[in-house]
Every structure is written in C-alpha cells, then in structure tokens.
Structure 1
C-alpha cells in the first residue's frame, strides 16, 4: 500500500493535477533527455559565439565566471533549462509552464512574502557576531560598479535560481508526484539528483560530500515549501536569497566571483576553513526555511 499524502501537502495537488493524465515514467525520462539536449546544444552555440568574439582568456573567464560579463552570460544561460522544461511539458504532458509554476499572481505574492522575510533575517544575522569571516574580506568590485551592475546581476541570478527550481521542484517533483503517492519519492529523488549535480570533488576536494549533503537538504526544504504553498514562488525566493549572498555579496575567489562585491580570503582548497562555514550554512539554511514557513502562514 502506498504511503498517504500528508494533509499539509494538499496544496501541491494544484501543481500535480495537470500532470496526472500522463504520469508514465518514460515521459519524464524522455523529457529530461529533451532538456539535456536543448541545454547542451544551446550552450555549445553560446560558447562558440563567446569564443568567436573573444580570446581564449575570455572563453576561460566564461567557464569560471571570473568577470562580470562572464557571470551575467553564464547565469542567464540557465534560461536554456527553463526553455527545455517548457518544451518537455508541452510535448510530453500537454501542459503549460504556468501549470509548473503555479498561479502567477499567487506565486509572485508568495515569492515576495518569503523574500521580504528572508531579507529581514539576513539583516538580523548581519548585525550579530561574529562580524567577519575569520579574516578581512577582500574587495572585488568597486561599490559604484557593483551598484551599476546590480539590476542585471539580480535578473541573472533570478534566471538561474528559477531555472533550477522549475526543473527540480517543478518538472521532476510534479511528474513523480503524478505517478507516486509517497513524498519520500517525489521529494527525495529530485533532492538526490540536485545533490548529485552539486557533487564536484575536483573543485571541492574533501568537502565535496558535505556540499552535496547541503544541496540535498536544501532540495528537501525547497520541496517542502513547494508542496505546502502550491507554487514555486517560496522555493525560488529561498534559492534566490541564498545565491544572492553567495554570488553577489561574498563569493569564493576561485569560481563564480565575477559579480561579487567581496571575495573571501580563502578558496576551496582551504578545506578546514570552508568546512567550518559550511556548518554555519547548514544552520542558516534551516533558519531560512523556518522563516519562510512562518512568513507563508501570515
């Protein structure tokens, strides 16, 4: 007997309903294949254009996100994921993107309610000790340059975070929920895939497993917010807030630092220092999720 769907996830049915007429797993697998093809082909075209108009240094900067332009292009390219999902749900489930996101008005309202609460939380955390990251932060972009780029930077981060939520908490989660009753499957499997996508032992070294675990937990918390709210708005807000801090405010110096106001005084190779702050990130992530839950109850 399948595990019954918890009553507090009743709102999730509004997202799953249009996927139920075509719940076959082969549709999801073929759809993911279609997304992969769309993303791969369009990224190859984009990279060819970047190389064609620039040098090898420009191409390398594009891959690592070491310059503002490279980061804006790199983050915006996640729009290819959203395009791929749109094609997959239309062709294989006869759905619109609106059904994946949930009611636009409700999603936008929930996004703002959660994001506003997270901004307040961020300000509270910022004024509490400790007041540094273990060593003085290194300025990366001048304040005037950072502020000038901020509208484009915010849009690029929103494109990137929305795309990941549309794929994992949207398409995959909803497709599995249309086939399986148990949240263990339709919340757990997308979170494991999300963790796998963030497992990078070549870059993270001994911290790769801990980062993957962090990503899996983030996926579960975002899935919970989606199932409780009935839209992707709260999950996108949580993801956007997290990446805004990590990509636009304080970034690691060795990767994706092109839009950051400051960079940390250590990089991924300093495993002990990074691991210590990862534990802090776990705590902040859980507090952020609880804050989002409270904001949605208002």
Structure 2
C-alpha cells in the first residue's frame, strides 16, 4: 500500500494534458495570461455596478466600506463569488486562443467528480480523527464568531462560494497554466514548480501577514505542489479542487483568525493574521495537517 501511495506514476497526466498539445506555443500562454488579467480588470467593476442597482443605498454603503476588512459575511461572500470571473476569463481564453473546450481544463467531468468525492470522504475522516485524538480543545481557547443560527443561514451560499473560489484558482493554476506548460515541457520541474510558485506569489500580502508574508508564500507554493501532484496522479482537477475546498472551508467557515476575512467563520482564533508570533507558531501545525491531507488524498486515489 505504501508503494502505491508514494507512487509518482503520472501516466494519467498525459491524458489530462493531451487537449492542450495542439496549440501549446509559449506565446499563446503568455498572451492568454495577459488576456485573462485584462478580462478580470474590465469585468470586476461590473460586479459593483450590479450590486449598486440591486441593493439598498444603506446596504451597498455598508458592504463597500467593509470590503477592506471583510468582517461582514456578505462581504466575504461577494469576494468569493467574484472568483467566478476567473472561470469566465479562462474559458474565454481557452476557446478564443487555444481553440478547445473549457471542460478540458478539468478532465473528464464524471471521473473528476468521483475522484473529488473519494478525496473529500478521506479528508473528512482525517479531520474527524484529528478532532477525536488528544490533545482536546484549543489553547488558547477559541472565540465565538457568527451566532450558530446566523452561520447556518449563510452556510449553503458560503459552501457554493468557496467551491467557486477554489475551483477557479485550480482551473487557472493547475488547469490552464499547468496543462499548457506540460504540453510544451515534459519535465515536472517546469509544469509543477512554475504554477505553484505563481500560486504562492498570488498569496503575498505583507499588509495582512506582516513579516510572515514570505512564509505564507512558501506555504501556498507547497500547497500548489501538492495540488499539482494530485492533478498529475489523477488526470483531473477533481482531487485538487477537493483538497483546496476542504482546506478553505475549514479556514473560512469553521475557524478563522480574527479580523480580515473572518466574516463567515463560526469560531475565531484569538489572534489576527498580522500577529506575527502567533502565525509563525501556527504555520508548522497547518503545514503538518496539509501533508497529512495530501497523503490521505493519495490513499483515496490508489489504484
């Protein structure tokens, strides 16, 4: 079983990359990324125009003013749902520039769904085991976030929003960029590392994390490598989306640091994201959990 879990047989990745091979020129990838960024810059303001017309003046003003800190659940939902623009942008680029169907970014949909389901079940079992094993409780103690009744009210749209956000990031980094690079370069050092580093750099936020900003970049880059490995192992984005989804549900909807992006959390840690000492102590634990989740996902995908 261990041999199967730690196998780096990436034959399924060849099938995943095949639709990108016909138009794999690097210039297409560069132009595609620039076009994706341009579409996002043009279309993102439309979200606020839409909200302005459908919301009351008071509600819109409160939402707009909170968007810097994302303390309101509505603000976090708007941010997460806005990632759907990445889906639209990448799909437009793939159709217009690469002449292929957007679903090829995911792999066979039925297989992707089944693999995601297996991985989510495995991760839920891991999370349950971690909660059941000592030490029990949190030290220091957690703080209350949303009231439970209010949290339940937001739970379904929040789950949908997290799915949109995580799948959009996977489609961009592990779907589009990884596929196009792998269609041009055979060595995993190219198609695994470059998208993962870009994914890590996208999380660079010194205003949020202070002196830990580069540690968070490293953490996110390692997560990107894990997602790239699962994609190459499975031949679809299903497992990577599943791991990303469960990770972000835990970090955004269950327990979040106080302050920025805490609007949907049921509980909060007694520190903020810019508390450098607390985050530095927390990251190794989070890293260890991430590795355990990766191994659990690989176990779920064993053949």
Alpha carbons 2:126, 2:293 under 8 Å: kept:
yes
Tell me which of 200, 203, 225 is aligned to 2:205.
200
Q: Is 2:19 the partner of 1:18?
A: yes
Judge which range, 110-119 or 12-21, deviates more. 12-21
Relative to structure 1, the CA distance from residue 272 to residue 30 in structure 2 (aligned partners, 3 Å threshold; closer, same or farther) is same
Alpha carbons 1:133, 1:264 under 8 Å: kept:
no
Alpha carbons 2:70, 2:263 under 8 Å: kept:
yes
C-alpha deviations, 1:3-52, integer Å up to 9, x for none?
xxx97111011121111111111101111111111212221221344466
Deviation of the 1:197 alpha carbon: 0.3
Judge which range, 36-45 or 84-93, deviates more. 36-45
C-alpha deviations, 1:43-100, integer Å up to 9, x for none?
1221344466445442132343221111111101100001111011111111112111
SS in 2 for 1:199: coil
Alignment of 1:1-298 (within 5 A): 8-50=9-51, 53=55, 54=59, 56-297=61-302
Judge which range, 200-209 or 279-288, deviates more. 200-209
- Normalising by the residue count of structure 1, what TM-score does the alignment of the two structures yield? 0.94
SS in 1 for 2:273: coil
Structure 1: distance between partners of 2:132 and 2:97: 49
Alpha carbons 1:51, 1:58 under 8 Å: kept:
no
Structure 1: distance between partners of 2:138 and 2:100: 46
* Pairs aligned (count): 293
Structure 2: distance between partners of 1:55 and 1:156: 19
Q: Which runs of 5+ in 2 are unaligned?
A: 1-6
SS in 2 for 1:8: coil
Structure 1: distance between partners of 2:210 and 2:278: 13
Structure 2: distance between partners of 1:229 and 1:158: 19
Structure 2: distance between partners of 1:17 and 1:140: 46
Alpha carbons 1:51, 1:59 under 8 Å: kept:
no
C-alpha deviations, 1:92-132, integer Å up to 9, x for none?
11111211100010000000000110011011111223334
After superposition, the CA RMSD in angstroms is 1.5
Aligned match of 2:3: none
SS in 2 for 1:266: strand
- Normalising by the residue count of structure 2, what TM-score does the alignment of the two structures yield? 0.93
Alpha carbons 1:72, 1:153 under 8 Å: kept:
yes
Structure 2: distance between partners of 1:161 and 1:123: 22
Structure 1: distance between partners of 2:116 and 2:60: 40
Judge which range, 169-178 or 143-152, deviates more. 143-152
Deviation of the 1:273 alpha carbon: 1.2
SS in 2 for 1:265: strand
Structure 2: distance between partners of 1:79 and 1:116: 25
Q: Which runs of 5+ in 1 are unaligned?
A: 1-5
